[in-house]
Amino acid sequence: MSQDDPVRIIPHAPEGIPDTGSFEVVWPGGNRHFYWDENAGRRAITLHDSRDEALEKARALARAERDRLEHACPGCDGTGWVCEDHQDQPWDGPHACSCGAAGAPCPRCNWPEDGELPRMPDGFQPG
């Protein structure tokens, strides 16, 4: 993992509580913590993983996010959504169209089967 890697795993450990902590996976547009505890008594209460289990889960997510970023669709920058009026431009992200039109599912990578919904944008909340 290089300094300019957009996906990072950051270890966290609270002061004064030995044998516990988390691994935070950070990627453009998101993050997730994987908590661990090496004290068997606490782990039974908190339901956290062991350190090795949490680290493996963090590494798996980091690999998946790197893969997603590296193989992002060129039409939507991997978001799954394009500008409804300019379907050759992403609707969200650093290269997003700035015209203000609504978003539409990317015709290259987010075209649902009949009767299915398209993949929704990150952070989408139905209203």
What range defines the domain where residue 89 resides?
Answer: 73-127
Q: How far apart are CA 4 and CA 22, in angstroms?
A: 22
110/77 same-domain check:
yes
63/39 same-domain check:
yes
Tally the domains of the chain.
2
The answer to whether the beta carbons of residues 57 and 44 sit under 8 Å apart is: no
In single-letter form, the type of residue at position 107 comes to P
Across 20-24, 47-51, 92-96, 111-115, least confident range: 111-115
Confidence of residue 2 (pLDDT cuts 50, 70, 90): low
pLDDT tens digits, 31-52: 999 999 999 888 888 889 999 9
List the structure tokens of 32: 């997730």
Instruction: Determine the average pLDDT of the residues in 9-17.
Output: 94
93/106 same-domain check:
yes
26/44 same-domain check:
yes
Residue at 44 is within a domain:
yes
13/64 same-domain check:
yes
Mean pLDDT estimate for the chain:
88
The answer to whether the beta carbons of residues 103 and 121 sit under 8 Å apart is: yes
Q: How far apart are CA 116 and CA 113, in angstroms?
A: 5
